[in-house]
Amino acid sequence: MVTNFRPHPKPPPAPWRYRGSRLESPPRCTLTWSRIRRPAVPELHEAGSTRHQSQGMFFSVCYDSVSLHESERSMTARILDGLKIRDEIFAELKDEVRLLAAAGVRPGLAAVLVGENPASQLYVKSKIAACEQLGLSSGLLTPPESATTRELLAVVDDLNHDNNVDGILVQLPLPPQVDTKRILEAVDPSKDVDGFHPVNLGRLASGRPGLVACTPAGCMEILRRGNVPMEGANAVVLGRSDIVGKPLALLLMHANATVTICHSKTRDLPEVVRRGDIVVAAMGKPAFVEADWIKPGAAVIDVGTNTIKDPTEAERLLRNFPARLEKFRAKGSVLVGDVHPAAVNTAGALTPVPGGVGPMTITMLMSNTVKAARLRRASPAVSTSQSTASAR
């Protein structure tokens, strides 16, 4: 026990402050009511907590037993786990599929995969596997890489008239000779489980029920099930694509958030992002959003999935994450989002990459397929029994 320890008689006003993504401490060892640094006195550090008298006032001092760097790392955001939410929704969908099956309806998804793009093959395979897991029927059509717009329109037309098919998935990208917009617009809007058809986008814009694009719908499920308040919140969406940015901005607006859409021409982007209680990053640029752009306590939805293979870039992004850096060195690549990994020390809640938004995209594709089957083929009695996700 140290009995004659005294604080500095005139402690300078040196508040804790953020510089970049690091929390810096005052240059001196000072004691105040709200900012306390561990002194370089071993006995006092070991005591952990003691009482001191200064100018007739008693006050307690508690000293942390870890370094500042370790303290920073422990102040992490709450993780919005997309895998956990996926499992919750899958459990709900299985119940709904059983009810539909009892009524003689088995939801069906047909995927159209043109050519032999390895990435597209992997995506479609994972979607077919999800159908099998939930008890949905599925079919895969594989026109050759040389397929024309006319030939693909005929394939889509056949699927539109097949009553056993509730959802039609045209895997993108299509070959350059194909008019992608014509193909997507040829899909029956009631079977458009990707939510890309202009009719479904128009329904979303006007607040009418319809099939919503999967990634934005998944982001909303993460926010709802993660208990992130949206009503009255300032939401900042980075990215204005037809697939993610625009639909998600509309969904947030319908949830009574005040929405700002940012893009490449937005002025003073960091300051705009700092006003967000909810920040959605969907630009496809690795670690573009710096940690100090994030308002402390904000909820961050990171839609980006970017592969880093450059060792220098990996060292720069992951220097404070030794476990992930070791995995990079062993594997030679690492996935990062559009938000800098250090944002975990600033945000209040955050989706990880991987394991955040990614699993939710396929989840909502399954949800849309079940919803389409219910709306198209189920009786009113069955339609009243629906999962939370497919009801939206």
Predicted confidence (pLDDT) per residue in 22-44, tens digit: 434 444 333 333 333 333 333 33
Pairwise pLDDT comparison (381 vs 354), residue with the higher score: 354
Pairwise pLDDT comparison (389 vs 261), residue with the higher score: 261
Of 166, 171, 192, 277, which one is the catalytic site residue? Answer: 171
Q: What percent of the chain has pLDDT above 70?
A: 77
Of 166, 191, 192, 194, which one is the catalytic site residue? Answer: 194
Pairwise pLDDT comparison (49 vs 215), residue with the higher score: 215
Q: Is the dihedral of CA 90, 91, 92, 95 positive or negative?
A: positive
In angstroms, the first-to-last Cα distance of the chain is 63
For the residues 147-168, what does the mean pLDDT come to?
98
| Low-confidence winner among 23-32, 151-160, 240-249, 250-259 (lowest mean pLDDT) | 23-32
For the residues 306-331, what does the mean pLDDT come to?
96
Integer-rounded Cα radius of gyration of the chain: 26
Model confidence at 214, pLDDT cuts 50, 70, 90, reads very high
Q: What percent of the chain has pLDDT above 90?
A: 77
For the residues 173-183, what does the mean pLDDT come to?
97
Residue 348 has pLDDT above 50, yes or no: yes
Distance of CA 316 to the CA centre of its chain: 23
Q: Please state the domain extents for the chain.
A: 17-73, 100-206, 212-359
CA dihedral 345, 363, 246, 268 (to 10 degrees): 10
Decide: residue 358, CB within 10 A, 0-12 exposed, 13-18 middle, 19+ buried: buried
pLDDT at 379: 65
What backbone phi and psi angles, to 5 degrees, belong to 276?
Answer: -80, 125
pLDDT at 390: 67
Q: Identify the architecture of domain 212-359 in CATH.
A: 3-Layer(aba) Sandwich (3.40)
Nearest to 274 by CA among 289, 296, 259, 295: 295
For the residues 266-276, what does the mean pLDDT come to?
98
| Low-confidence winner among 7-16, 242-251, 324-333 (lowest mean pLDDT) | 7-16
| Low-confidence winner among 63-67, 267-271, 290-294, 346-350 (lowest mean pLDDT) | 63-67
pLDDT tens digit string along 100-126?
999 999 999 999 999 999 999 999 999
Pick 100-206's CATH classification: 3.40.50.300, 3.40.50.10860, 3.90.1150.10, 3.40.140.10. 3.40.50.10860
Mark whether 171 is an active-site residue: yes
Average pLDDT of the residues of the chain? 84
pLDDT tens digit string along 42-71?
333 333 333 433 333 333 333 333 333 333
Strands 167-170 and 137-141: unpaired
Mark whether 194 is an active-site residue: yes
Mark whether 192 is an active-site residue: no
